[in-house]
Every structure is written in structure tokens, then in C-alpha cells.
Amino acid sequence: MPSLTEWKVPPAYQPRPGDYGFDLDRVLSSVVGLHSIIPADAFSADTLGTERAGNGVVIDDGLVLTIGYLITEAEAVWLHLGDGRVVEGHALGFDSVSGFGLVQALGRIDLDPLPLGSSSAAEVGDRVVVGGAGGRTRSVASHIAAKQEFAGYWEYLLDEAIFTHPAHPNWGGTGLISNRGELIGIGSLQLEREREGKAEHVNMIVPIDLLKPVLDDLRKFGRVNRPARPWLGMYTTEIDNRIVVIGISAKGPAARAELKTGDVILAVKGEKISSQTAFYRKLWALGSAGVDVPLTVFHEGVTFDVVLTSTDRAKLLKGPRLH
């Protein structure tokens, strides 16, 4: 992982202590760097890489909240503290529905936990800080630009994600800090949007309210104690009200059914779909992982029906290394 001193947010975008009614430096000290190593034969290695770096936020005694893709299948996790210390961590778990991941520090980190706030209480226009590891010079003074539905191509859907602008350049696992100095989300993505004829970057943030019902399960079991959603191993996007396949996971149900990039998904169990959100909701409404999923597909001028036997994606992932 690059040294914390190797890059800085441009001064004009850095948060200034006088602009907030809380101790900015103390709050930002709860954000740490995170570096993970993933085995080359891991299921996620081809898409997410074997070495991942980002941020995490201390939310309890040695407990660090991050974005799950940074620690999925990790065999080693290291936490980089602002004073230069590096502490080994253990990947406790990952919630595929929200996207959150948890890491337990295996040594003392002596950092105050950041209290959890209410993401539902946050409003568009609110002043926030997108906190990165390394304090003010690696954090961004931002505002909430939107709160709206978000569908990801990897079979992922949030009913109401938070979008912030300006965007943090090292967004993965950043802490979204409210004007009360509380944690209200974790950074997941950087996206581009069109505004007044110009393209600008925003961060997509996973709201902290999604963590509260599942935190105990993640700590105890490494995953949430609920039936897994059916997973197809299909990457899709919405183009002109059509759901187009843009990629196929090599080991998933879609690959076994010989679906191809460029296929168009027209219907789920005979019900037509024209949006990615409708596709996911109809898919998940069929039942839990293992359920048969009837699809109507358009391929190079031919329309056909196919039934995919869904699976639990977690079964394809390597479990955390025990200490």
C-alpha cells in the first residue's frame, strides 16, 4: 500500500476545522488505511485483483468497518494507522446485500470508535466530510448531492444510496461523516454524472442504516443469518430500457446455461422487464438461492426461454483465514 504521505487531496477540497461543529482531527483519526492480500485462485481474484487497498473506519474496540470488496476472500489484512503503525487484521465477514465488510484488529490500535449516526436523517445539500486514512489532507469537504436508488451490474441493488460531490479520489472504504461528526456511510464507488452539460464525478456511499440490523450477525457468524439471494453470475446493464448482458462469471449459473455477452434479458418467469431494478426485484422475489429462474432471452435475432438454477455466491468464495 502506498505511504499515506505520497498523495494529498488538493487544498481547495480539504475540510477545514472551523467549518464544522466537532473536533475534525479527532474524528478523522478513526479512519485507517486497509491493505489486503487475496489468493491467486480466489473466485474474486480475476475481477477484483489479488492485492487491494483502501480505507476503513473504527466503529468499536478494534472493529473496523469497510467496503466488502476490499476484504472478500482475503488471506491477510493489514491496517495502516495515522502514526505509521501497521496492525494485522482478521476479515470477520462480508454482507453481499449491503456491501459492508468487517475487520477485527488483532493488535491494539488505541483509536476512538466513530459513533454511528442516521443516514436516513441526512438530507440532500448537507455538508459532509468524506474521510480517508491520513487525516484532513486525505479527506474531502463534500456535500450530499443525491439520495436515490442504485443498481450495480454485479447483481446488487440499494433502495437509497447516498451520492456525494466533490468525489474522493481514493473512495473505497472512506467514512462519510455527518455535520454532527457521526458515521453515516461507507464509500463504495466513483461514478460520473452529467450536470449542467458537464461531466462530474461523485462518490456512491452505502448508508450506515443498512449496517445496524446486520452488525451482530456479521460479528458472530461472518455473514448475515438470512436466506441467501439467488445469484446468476451475470453482469448486466440497462441500455434503452433493455437489460443487456455485458459479462458472464465463468463458474456461475449463467455460464452453465451458455448465456453470452450481448444477450438481452426480456422477461423473468414470463414477466417483462425494462429496468435493471425490476430485473433484480423479480429475480429475488422467486425465492432464495437454489431456486430455478426462468428467463426469456433475445440472442442475435432469436428469442428463447431458458431456466437457470441459481446458487449462493458465497459458496464460491474462500472463507476467512482463522487465527
What is the domain-level CATH number for residue 294? 2.30.42.10
Q: Are residues 52 and 98 in the same domain?
A: yes
pLDDT of residue 1: 41
Compute φ and ψ for 233, nearest 5 degrees. 70, 40
**Is residue 321 assigned to a domain?**
no
The CA–CA distances, whole Å, from 70 to 154, 187, 228 equal 15, 11, 21
> CB of 314 within 8 A of CB of 228?
yes
**Is residue 238 assigned to a domain?**
yes
Instruction: Say how many Å lie between the first and final Cα of the chain, rounded.
Output: 23
pLDDT of residue 154: 96
- Among 189, 221, 253, give the residue marking a domain's end: 221
pLDDT of residue 322: 53
Based on the structure, what is the number of domains in the chain? 3
Look at residue 323 and tell me whether its pLDDT is greater than 80.
no
- Angle, CA 65 vertex, CA 64 and CA 66 arms, to 5°: 115
pLDDT of residue 321: 60
- Give the closest residue to 139 by CA, choosing from 217, 55, 73: 55
Res. 3 pLDDT band, cuts 50 70 90: very low
Res. 56 pLDDT band, cuts 50 70 90: very high
CA distance 184 to 119: 5
Q: Are residues 203 and 276 in the same domain?
A: no
Look at residue 76 and tell me whether its pLDDT is greater than 70.
yes
Q: Which domain holds residue 270?
A: 234-316
pLDDT of residue 196: 81
Q: Are residues 108 and 131 in the same domain?
A: no
